[in-house]
């Protein structure tokens, strides 16, 4: 199979590798698309990528929830390739109305958003502030907060993204105003600002900065979850979740995708296709 590999000196290259062999509890997927996530920029060595959508080619003997031919999406390692072995516990049937490209944009970014909002106890009547709301996880968080019952959703982003935020259902906020819940996905100064924006620090959540806990905030390290993927698929099938695709690139241009994401100019998600 063709796959992107990352060397120790952080060079991305397209290479020929053996097809993976699924373990007893795994699926072998023919990958149709792979999402590009900020966590991929920190990948050490091997085949990067954590977000994938594709078709089941084979399954291990312990797999019970999928059959050959099923269209699935998953959070897994080694997504920048033509094939991947995926644990059943990190996969779900893809949203029926989503293309493979749209589905591949979801697994880590949207699960991170969902888990952060749940960690903050987001519910009916809350005012929710999403920092960097035009990003991959941010634009999902805006939509998920609405689905969880938030009365208002505020979002910070560049001024040129204001109309985009309104389309998602968020009110653009130039600075971090007061809110019941704040979720952030970038760290740094944004973490400190998130803590200042809430009266109860336990309702300020970061998915990237564990230091937030020193001031009473919550650190929600994203965790693969088939149950969360099923929840998100249901949300999408009800028309309550959409993907903002910034650009689709061929797998061979993974290095270009990483440079683009690192530039901070991406609105929504980047997706690679084999």
Residue 235 lies in a domain: no
Distances (CA, A) of 5 to 10, 20, 29, 81, 154: 9, 14, 18, 9, 39
The answer to which of 123-127, 133-137, 262-266 has the lowest mean pLDDT is: 262-266
What rounded mean pLDDT belongs to the chain? 97
Residue 232 lies in a domain: no
On whether the CB atoms of residues 220 and 206 are closer than 8 A, the answer is yes
Say whether both 80 and 163 belong to one domain: no
What confidence tens digit (pLDDT) does each residue in 66-115 have?
A: 999 999 999 999 999 999 999 999 999 999 999 999 999 999 999 999 99
> Is the pLDDT at 199 greater than 80, yes or no?
yes
Say whether both 63 and 119 belong to one domain: no
Say whether both 97 and 114 belong to one domain: no
Say whether both 123 and 47 belong to one domain: no
What confidence tens digit (pLDDT) does each residue in 164-198 have?
A: 999 999 999 977 789 999 999 999 999 999 999 99
Say whether both 88 and 119 belong to one domain: no
In the listed set 219, 235, 255, which residue is the last one of a domain according to the structure?
219
The answer to which of 35-44, 181-190, 217-226 has the lowest mean pLDDT is: 35-44
Say whether both 212 and 115 belong to one domain: yes
The structural domain count of the chain equals: 2
Q: For the chain, how long is the longest CA-to-CA vector?
A: 54
Residues in the chain: 274
Backbone dihedral angles phi then psi of residue 152, each to the nearest 5 degrees: -140, 145
CATH classification of the domain holding 266: 3.90.180.10
Say whether both 154 and 183 belong to one domain: yes
Say whether both 118 and 45 belong to one domain: no
Say whether both 10 and 61 belong to one domain: yes
> Is the pLDDT at 44 greater than 70, yes or no?
no
- pLDDT band, residue 10 (cuts 50/70/90): confident
Structural domain for 142, as ranges: 110-219
Say whether both 85 and 154 belong to one domain: no
pLDDT top residue among 263 and 175: 263
Residue 26 lies in a domain: yes
> Is the pLDDT at 7 greater than 90, yes or no?
no
pLDDT top residue among 4 and 175: 4
How far apart are the C-alpha atoms of 45 and 3, rounded to whole Å?
13
What confidence tens digit (pLDDT) does each residue in 140-169 have?
A: 999 999 999 999 999 999 999 999 999 999
Say whether both 173 and 152 belong to one domain: yes
User: What's the pLDDT at 41?
Assistant: 87
Say whether both 134 and 80 belong to one domain: no
The percent of residues above 90 in pLDDT, for the chain, comes to 93
On whether the CB atoms of residues 113 and 86 are closer than 8 A, the answer is no
């Amino acid at each position: 199979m063709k796959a992107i590999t990352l060397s120790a000196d952080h060079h991305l290259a397209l290479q020929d590798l053996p097809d993976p062999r699924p373990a007893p509890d795994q699926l072998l997927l023919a990958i149709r698309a792979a999402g590009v996530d900020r966590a991929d920029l920190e990948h050490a060595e091997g085949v990067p990528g954590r977000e994938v959508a594709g078709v089941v080619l084979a399954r291990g003997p312990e797999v019970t929830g999928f059959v050959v031919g099923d269209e699935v999406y998953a959070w897994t390692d080694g997504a920048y390739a033509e094939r991947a072995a995926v644990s059943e516990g990190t996969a779900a049937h893809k949203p029926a109305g989503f293309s493979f490209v749209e589905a591949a944009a979801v697994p880590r970014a949207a699960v991170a958003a969902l888990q952060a909002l749940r960690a903050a106890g987001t519910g009916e009547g809350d005012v929710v502030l999403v920092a960097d709301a035009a990003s991959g996880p941010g634009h999902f968080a805006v939509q998920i907060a609405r689905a969880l019952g938030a009365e208002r959703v505020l979002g910070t982003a560049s001024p040129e993204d204001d109309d985009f935020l309104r389309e998602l259902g968020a009110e653009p906020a130039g600075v971090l105003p007061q809110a019941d819940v704040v979720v952030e996905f970038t760290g740094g100064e944004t973490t400190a600002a998130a803590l200042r924006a809430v009266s109860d620090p336990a309702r300020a959540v970061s998915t990237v900065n564990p230091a937030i806990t020193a001031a009473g905030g919550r650190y929600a390290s994203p965790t693969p979850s088939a149950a969360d993927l099923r929840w998100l698929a249901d949300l999408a099938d009800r028309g309550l979740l959409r993907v903002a695709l910034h650009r689709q690139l061929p797998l061979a241009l993974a290095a270009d995708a990483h440079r683009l994401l690192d530039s901070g100019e991406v609105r929504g998600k980047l997706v690679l296709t084999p």
